[in-house]
Amino acid sequence: MKVPPLFSLYYQARKTAMKKLIQPVLIAFLLCLLILPVVSKGKPKNIMLLFDLKDYNKEIDNTVDHFFNKVISSDDQLIVMTPAGKMFSYSSKTISASRQKVSSEIKDALKKHTSVTSSDYQNIYNQMMSIVNDIRDGSGLEDTKNLIAAYENNRKELKMTRRINEAMLLQFSEVFKRSRQVTGDTDNQIYLFFQEEIRPIPDKNTMNNIRENPQLSFDAARVFFEERTEEDFDVDKIAEEFKSAGVTFNFVYIIPKDLPTQRYQLVDNSGDFYSAMSIIAGKTGGKVVTTTQPQEIFKD
């Protein structure tokens, strides 16, 4: 029985690279984007949209359209981070002059970058599905133990595909904090759009058979069902930094529409991330929305 290959070192390297994404040079760049238009035109709203997506679909299109049609005004400034970590910035002048062009540019970038970055997530998901199929189809005791161990490693790798980390959020708070020192009291809004991580697990009949084997039942229950409780975010620190920078943090947890399953079950793998981001949003006076239609975050 061949266990799917493990890519822990690769994904750890990717995660480290993402942590290094927001460097002092980029902070200075973002700071200029927020300050320069304000100096000349007053105090517009500063809006930052962050996207961590696994699947680009029509609902993302609808959300961007709704944002430009109903939310952002011609006096606001906008910064967008795509799933690939690329920053796009738009002054109030640019938004006012070419709103539809900006909207189309953002949608095209999100679609392109999601198709590239989602391959990591999809590869790990496919490995997990292969493990689930092998367990269901019947494997020897030792093979099943190895498959369960490989699945546990896949869970860790799945988590490493996340684009948002504590260092990044703290750097963003620093950008807004410095901007506020120059421009005075401004309305700063961050919206994080995060698509739920889902993973396959064996169907109920297969799980019942595993539970009957005392050599497998404990590890299987832990690996397939146990919620991960590692603290990746100091939520109190992040919330305090956001508040001192005048930032309201809003979180959109995008769940997939019902997916047909017969020979396996689908469960949430990102409950820990949801919990951390929801706490930060609550502490900064922001909104939390769990939905299949992310534009709901902009509705009263």
- Measure the CA angle with vertex 270, ends 266 and 275; round to 5°: 135
Q: Is 70 exceeded by the pLDDT of residue 294?
A: yes
| No. of helices (H) and no. of strands (E), the chain | 11, 8
Q: Could you write out the DSSP letters of every residue in 22-44?
A: S-HHHHHHHHHHHHHHHHHH--P
Backbone angles phi, psi at 271, to 5 degrees: -60, -35
CA distance 118 to 114: 6
The mean per-residue pLDDT over the stretch 42-71 comes to: 91
pLDDT in tens, 102-121: 999 999 999 999 999 999 99
pLDDT in tens, 218-250: 999 999 998 876 778 999 999 999 999 999 999
Backbone angles phi, psi at 53, to 5 degrees: -115, 150
Residue whose C-alpha is closest to residue 166's, from 2, 254, 288, 279: 279
In sequence order, which residues have a C-beta less than 8 Å from that of residue 119 and are 6 or more positions away?
none
Residue whose C-alpha is closest to residue 127's, from 8, 298, 295, 268: 8
Backbone angles phi, psi at 90, to 5 degrees: -140, 125
Q: Are 202 and 210 in contact (CB under 8 A)?
A: yes
Q: Is 46 exposed, middle or buried (0-12, 13-18, 19+ CB in 10 A)?
A: buried
Q: Give me 173's structure tokens.
A: 């708070």
Domain boundaries, the chain: 46-54+114-235+250-298
- Measure the CA angle with vertex 124, ends 198 and 197; round to 5°: 20
Q: Is 90 exceeded by the pLDDT of residue 290?
A: yes
pLDDT band at 5 (very low <50, low <70, confident <90, very high): very low
Residue whose C-alpha is closest to residue 239's, from 272, 281, 271: 281
pTM tops 0.95, yes or no: no
pLDDT in tens, 158-208: 999 999 999 999 999 998 988 777 666 778 999 999 999 999 999 999 999
